[in-house]
Structures are given as structure tokens and as C-alpha cells.
Amino acid sequence: MRGRMIHNLSGKKSVLPYGTNSQYILSISRKNLNKDLLTAVETYPNAKVHFGQRLVKCNPEEGRITVVGSNKIPKDVTCDLIIGCDGAHSAVRTHLMKKPRFDYSQRYIPHGYMELTIPPRNGAYAMEPNYLHIWPRHTFMMIALANMEKSFTCTLFMPFEEFEKLRTSSDVLNFFKEYFPDSIPLIGEQALGEDFFLLPAQPLISIKCSSFHLKSRCVLMGDAAHAIVPFFGQGMNAGFEDCLVFDELMDKFNNDFSLCLPEFSRFRIPDSHAISDLSLYNYIEMRSHVNSWQFLLQTSIERFLHALMPSTFIPLYTMVTFSRIRYHEAVLRWHWQNKVINRGLCVFGSLMAMGGVYLLVSYISPRPLGYLRRLPWTGNRFFWNMGRISLQTLRSH
């Protein structure tokens, strides 16, 4: 996907590129990705995969976990390192939360999400497939992502109280006619009325914790360490980056867990908190700011400055998505760039205002500076008189 395609109320579409012509992001099936990862694991002879096991107890200090399989019999497993990659509702993290000095916070945002489908049209995509389609409506929005089988998955993000107002198929149809009229023929009126009530709106959670490790025996990664809302598309990337950073630290410290794990926490916590905050910000940008001319102007200025000075001015989205710049460093740099741009716009605006005043005065009076030239402080005689006054004053003293 090469950019965002914005759908306004009238059905008009406009494109906001993600970056340069050669830059794009990938929308990947999570199901197929999981299959590929499991296939990759199976190529390692020293890796064993056990399915259908539920963690019931975790003792990181002793490097022991207790799991229960289909036979319902608890089984103790001893290991050198426990890596908790078990998602937003992590059982490993639940056990770490009982330990002293483990900070944890979770936040359910007031908005939920619901998925709908745009089917293929005559065996082809019903819309342009290489864009993230967005219907921004200020306090809520709908997006659509293309699938390989020529369909689109639509996701409606909206406050729960707004979902609760839509009780019948007629309510849903009227709501879409008002806010997403061009999507109705794509989804289909009957499918829209039926699919909307298949599942209730689902919640969105944001989780922060610190630290990510316990001594040298246990570490959290991925959503278990930093579950974020999906609006920057960085949740899976942040999890993969955990693995990349951890691998680099293992090389740096020669696989010494006692050095690697504390450094992993120190290094990754600022970045995980930063991308969590950025994801919440990007929701506001997607549902509201993309409709603002001020935002579009600033985006154009950023792209222009990036083209002139590619290593000095880098748009936030480019830093986050197309570079290894750390998330928290991207935020700091973004704030600095905004200050520079805003001050530049203020100076430019002031110069334009001064120029406008001068032109206005020139239009009113043929000689706009004539009055100033006739004032007593103009000309050599004034400065000569000032000099005489000064000399006389000195002589009097």
C-alpha cells in the first residue's frame, strides 16, 4: 500500500502518499504469517513445538513453569529462560505482576471496532487495492484493507455509545447513508444489515509495563510487554523489533542472560511507551486531521523539506515506518521539527503581513514614505543639532 486514500462525504477520493514513490507498507494475513513462522521453526532441529498447552503456574526465579494439556494433568517444565510472548492478556506477565517493583498499566480506549467485508466485483477488486482506504469522520472512522482474494476487510472504529445507538438494520443503513454513502453499494445493503449484528463491537486495549524482565530467567516480548492500539500499524513490527534487538544484544553480551535481559528492558521500554502514545495520536490524525487544510499544508511542507534535506528533516511516518530510528527518538525529533516549521511559518507570515501593509499604503499614497522623510528627525540637520545639544550639555557640566 503506497498511501492513504481519503473518502469524503460526497464520495470524492484523494491520496496522501506514505513516503516517496518507492516506499510502501505491506498488509499481511496474520493467519498465513503464523503458518510461515511455524514452518520456519520446524526447520530447526533443536526446536520443539507443543500445542494445546495452557500455562497455570510460572516460577521465574527457579526457571520452572507448570502447564496443563488435554489430559488435564499438570506438568512441570524446567528451562534456562522463560520468554513470555503470550499476548495482551499474558499469563507470564500476570505472574510477574506479583513481584515487587513491577509497574503495570492498562487502558481500554472508549472506542471499539467492528469488521465488515467488501466482496470482489466481477472477480476484481471493487476499489483501488494498493491503498489504505479511510473514511474520516472526526470522532470516528472506517478503514478498508485489500485481501489477496480480491475482497476488502473494512473496520469501523467508533465510540461504544455510538454503536449502541444502532439497534436495527434500518438504523445501520441510515447511519451509513449519512456518513459512508459510497460504501453502501460496495458492501451491499442486505449484507451490511446482517453482518453488522454478527458480532458486537470489540474493545481496544493499550498496555504499558516496566520492566520487561525478571533477573536472568524471564523476559516479556511483543504484546505481552507492550500491547498497543492498531492505528500506526506497528504492533507486529514492534514485536519483531523486540526479537531483532534481543538477538543483537545476545551477540553483544555473548549470550549472557544476566547482562542481556536488563539491557533489553532499559533499551526497549522508552521505545515501547513511545509507540503506544504515537498509536493513540495516529487515531486522531486518521479520523480527523486528514480533513484539515492545516495538516495537509504541514504535510506538504515536511515532504518539501525532506526532499531538500533528507537527513535533517524526516516526516514522522517515514521515521517510524521506513527507518530503524528508535520510536522515542522519532518522537523527540518530530517535536523539534514541528517547532522549526511553526517558527518558520510565523516569520513568513509576519513578512507577508508587513509586505501587505506596505503595498496597501503604496496604493493609498503615491509617496508612502514622504511623510516620514518630512519628520524632524530625518536629514543631516537633525543629527547636527543633536550634536550641538550634546556639546552644550557637556560644557554646562
Report the DSSP beta bridge partners of residue 15.
Answer: 5
pLDDT for res 161: 94
118 contacts 184 by C-beta, under 8 angstroms: no
Alpha-carbon span 67 to 86, nearest angstrom: 14
Read off the pLDDT of residues 7-60 as tens digits, 9 standing for 90 and up. 999 889 999 999 888 899 998 888 899 999 999 999 999 999 999 999 988 888
Residue matched to cell numbers 492478556 = 89
The answer to whether 186 touches 127, Cβ cutoff 8 Å, is yes
Angle, in degrees to the nearest 10, between helices 293-308 and 327-364: 110
Cα–Cα distances in Å, from 112 out to 106, 162, 206, 252, 302?
16, 10, 13, 42, 32
Q: Which residue has the cell 507486529?
A: 236
Task: Give the global pTM.
Answer: 0.81
H/E segment holding residue 15 = strand 13-17
- Reported as a single tens digit per residue, the pLDDT across 343-395 is 887 887 787 777 877 777 777 765 555 554 555 544 555 444 544 444 343 34
- Asked if residues 203 and 182 have their Cβ atoms less than 8 Å apart, the reply is no
Q: At what angle do helices 327-364 and 257-287 cross, to 10 degrees?
A: 30
Name residues of the chain where pLDDT drops below 70.
365-397
